[in-house]
Amino acid sequence: MEVLQTNITYLKGVGPERAKLLEEELGIKTFNDLLHHFPFRYIDRTQFNTIAELPEIYQQPVQLKGVITGLNVSGNGRKKALKAVFKDATGSIELVWFKGIKWIMDSLKTNQVYEIYGKVQRYGGVWNMAHPEMEKAEARKITRQFQPVYHSTEKLTKKGLHSKGIEKLLQQLLIDVIGKIPESLSQEILATNKLLGINQAMKQIHLPEHLEEAKRARFRLKFEELFFLQLELLIRKNLRTKPEQGLPMPKVGEVFNTFYEYHLPFELTNAQKRVVKEVFQDMKRGIHMNRLIQGDVGSGKTLVALLNMLIAVGNGYQTALLAPTEILAQQHFETINAMLEPLNLKVALLTGSVKGKVRRLLFEALQNGEVHILIGTHAIIEPKVMFQNLGLAVIDEQHRFGVAQRASLWKKNSRPPHVLVMTATPIPRTLAMSFYGDLDVSVIDELPPGRKPINTVHYFEKSRIKVFAFMKEQIALGRQVYVVYPLIEESSVLDYQNLMSGFEAIQRAFPPPQFHVSIVHGKMKAEDKDFEMQRFVKGETHIMVATTVIEVGVNVPNASVMVIESAEKFGLSQLHQLRGRVGRGAEQSYCILMTGDKISKEGKRRLQTMVQTNDGFKIAEVDLEIRGPGDIMGTQQSGLLQLSIANLATDGPIISLARDAARKLLEIDERLTENKHFPLKHKLQSIIKNKPNWSKIS
Ligand code: ADP
Ligand code: MG
């Protein structure tokens, strides 16, 4: 057995009790697990701060060198504390202990030079440090300039396994295993990417001589982690893109040509043309397409999807378009139906509200192939919905759908239909590579001509009168206005009350007959929502008061003002989506972010970002910084990858390198059958065994 698989109990310094705690608290069971418990930072033991500097480095841990000039115990019982005066050449602070008082008092010596480490606080006009780490200056052999700092827990600390205790264990472990850790990357990969060998890397990450060494070690270990992730994703992709895996759609077809030549409502942007082609390239190659289209709100994804659906129809297949909400499905149905009017195709709508006989007839029409294009909600995924020959399924606003839902579409035909997913929630490229590593990505990076950037401002509640006056001005110019309230949870009574009282206030400020106000929210029946939506679309109402049910996809080009109430409660991507509901016509559009006076630091950052930029990719990057990648992908995907050292948000360049290396390897040895690649294959298999979640990414 490999030495690394040895149970941690057998490490010198770890008995059964500590072993149990290590497993419970940090999941460390074997030598290998402990080896992968990496330091999260290093302390430079040769750098000292001075007491005079403290006001500038408040709340950071500091390292000081000085003497203790006085000790005294104060208080009684639980309030008992030991205090010491600690001085360096620039001033003095107080050291405080609440525990182990007797022992510490006996061991401390006055007029002895100590090096102390800890966080300082200012309390009652005095700087103090509670429970400092301390050592006699001359007693400390400076064996290492950089001391690693490890995560620990309260329970572990009680058993002596604070950062320093863990450091000790690792020093012992390194003595036992260095030189025996099997290399998991091939010589070629190490050489091409200038990576440290695994033994060297492990030594340097735990015991660096200087920070440069630690950095190189981290690079190697991150690379390895990302490399195996990309390798797995690419292997799966290779399987999928084998010739004969996909439904053949060799020609553009008559349907597409007729529509494109005679009925296209506007000239496509270059980006739209390019993406339509990229998708068609996949469809005609005989491979199984699994492609993501990323395009900012308003970039015209619907039309791109439709054009590719027409190609599929021209090749004799049925197609489906899935939207996350009924409102959006309904809207897609209407616009597409209108555009295709002259083509004599059968377009149908399937949502939860299509019931009874209509539903039954629709199911029949799907099975006997009468319906060419089915538009709908999640309802389409249900197993009962069967097609005669589904060739292409498009998922709009895909981040609203789960991975499993997407996968179930594959079963709708004997050979899986091509899948096209679309999103306006821009995902930084390198993140897409990991979460959608198995997908090909097309980007619509251009907006239709004539769009003016939306003017975004932030107002506090006290400016409400001004905002209402502005809304009136815009309505007088013939425009329409959205006012959106947060309804974070559909069931939240408070949010709902806010919405209703907001609605009443607006009705009072905008009375009939001059003004008409609509309202749409999740508690309304589908047909009522639809009715109100239609009134707004037709321009019969001037203001649409709504919850985030209108967040995605809704398209009313005449609406030029988006007022977002309690904007501090929304996340960045939601704000960006909401803002994307305006700026769709030729008129100058506005987004007004209304907030109360109290806003968190993050909230402020979000609002500032919105005011500063309209660029969805920039917004996504800030979002990634604020929230971290797991959160961005939604709860369904978070924690999926369980990475131990790499960070998908910040390690973009390493992800690219790792992906290239994985791709090159598979080009030479697609199934990893060559002898020299056996260690790679072995390692990949053992990783996958430990990370069953990986199989859910696609
Ligand atoms: P999204 O990418 O956000 O889904 P849509 O598909 O809803 O965007 O398109 C936004 C608006 O832009 C729609 O009104 C659509 O008709 C219009 N549009 C799409 N493509 C073009 C184009 N090439 N030229 C002009 N307008 C376009
Ligand atoms: Mg859309």
Q: What is the CATH number of the domain that holds 496?
A: 3.40.50.300
* Domain end residue (candidates: 580, 598, 613): 613
Tokens coding 374: 């089915």
For the segment 478-525, what is each residue's pLDDT rounded down to a tens digit?
A: 999 999 998 756 567 778 888 899 999 999 999 999 999 999 988 888
For the segment 595-619, what is each residue's pLDDT rounded down to a tens digit?
A: 998 888 889 999 999 999 998 888 8
Domain annotation covers residue 222: no
Residue 574 alpha carbon to ligand 2 centre in Å: 14
Domain annotation covers residue 125: yes
The pLDDT, as a whole number, for residue 636 is 36
* Domain end residue (candidates: 118, 141, 164): 141
The pLDDT, as a whole number, for residue 698 is 46
Confidence of residue 631 (pLDDT cuts 50, 70, 90): low
- Residue 432 shares a structural domain with residue 306: yes
More confident residue, 111 or 190: 190
Are 201 and 221 in contact by the 8 Å Cβ rule? The answer is: yes
The pLDDT, as a whole number, for residue 638 is 41
The pLDDT, as a whole number, for residue 474 is 96
The pLDDT, as a whole number, for residue 516 is 96
Q: Which is the closest atom of ligand 1 to the Cα of 267?
A: 23
- Residue 419 shares a structural domain with residue 485: no
* Distances from the Cα of 260 to the Cα of 449, 561, 609, angstroms: 19, 33, 39
Domain annotation covers residue 7: no
pLDDT reading at 58 higher than 70 = no
pLDDT reading at 211 higher than 50 = yes
As a whole-number percent, the residues of the chain with pLDDT over 70 amount to 91
Q: How many helices (H) and strands (E) does the chain have?
A: 24, 21
Please tell me the number of the ligand nearest to residue 580's CA.
Answer: 1
Domain count, the chain: 3
pLDDT reading at 140 higher than 60 = no
pLDDT reading at 156 higher than 70 = yes
Ligand 1 in reach of 318 Cβ (< 6 A): no
Burial class (CB in 10 A: 0-12, 13-18, 19+), 238: middle
More confident residue, 89 or 404: 89
Are 426 and 402 in contact by the 8 Å Cβ rule? The answer is: no
Ligand 1 in reach of 269 Cβ (< 6 A): yes
The pLDDT, as a whole number, for residue 1 is 54
Any idea what DSSP says for residue 563?
A: E
Ligand 1 in reach of 557 Cβ (< 6 A): yes
> Tokens 């579409």 belong to which residue?
409
Are 482 and 563 in contact by the 8 Å Cβ rule? The answer is: yes
Which amino acid does the sequence have at 623?
D
Cα–Cα distance, 663 to 68 (Å, whole number)? 61
The pLDDT, as a whole number, for residue 313 is 98
Domain annotation covers residue 639: no
Burial class (CB in 10 A: 0-12, 13-18, 19+), 75: exposed
Dihedral angle over CA of 88, 89, 90, 91, nearest 10 = 50
Ligand 1 in reach of 324 Cβ (< 6 A): no
Are 338 and 365 in contact by the 8 Å Cβ rule? The answer is: no
Cα–Cα distance, 652 to 656 (Å, whole number)? 6
Please tell me the number of the ligand nearest to residue 304's CA.
Answer: 1
Cα–Cα distance, 486 to 75 (Å, whole number)? 51
Any idea what DSSP says for residue 436?
A: T
Q: What is the distance between the terminal CA atoms of the chain, rounded to a whole angstrom?
A: 35
Which amino acid does the sequence have at 69?
T
Average pLDDT over residues 345-369: 95
- Residue 493 shares a structural domain with residue 351: no
Q: From 273, 274, 299, 308, give the residue whose CB has the most ligand 1 atoms within 8 Å, as the site to mutate.
A: 299
- Residue 282 domain boundaries: 251-444
Give the torsion sign (CA, 487, 493, 496, 497): negative
pLDDT reading at 634 higher than 50 = no
Angle between helices 211-240 and 652-668 (to 10 degrees): 50
Average pLDDT over residues 379-402: 88
Ligand 1 in reach of 8 Cβ (< 6 A): no
Predicted TM-score of the model (pTM): 0.68
Average pLDDT over residues 173-188: 93
* Domain end residue (candidates: 96, 124, 141): 141
Ligand 1 in reach of 297 Cβ (< 6 A): yes
- Residue 306 shares a structural domain with residue 278: yes
Q: Average pLDDT, whole number, for the chain? A: 88
Q: What are the φ/ψ torsions at residue 238 (nearest 5 degrees)?
A: -60, -40
Which segment, 97-111, 392-406, 665-679, is predicted with the most confidence on average? 665-679
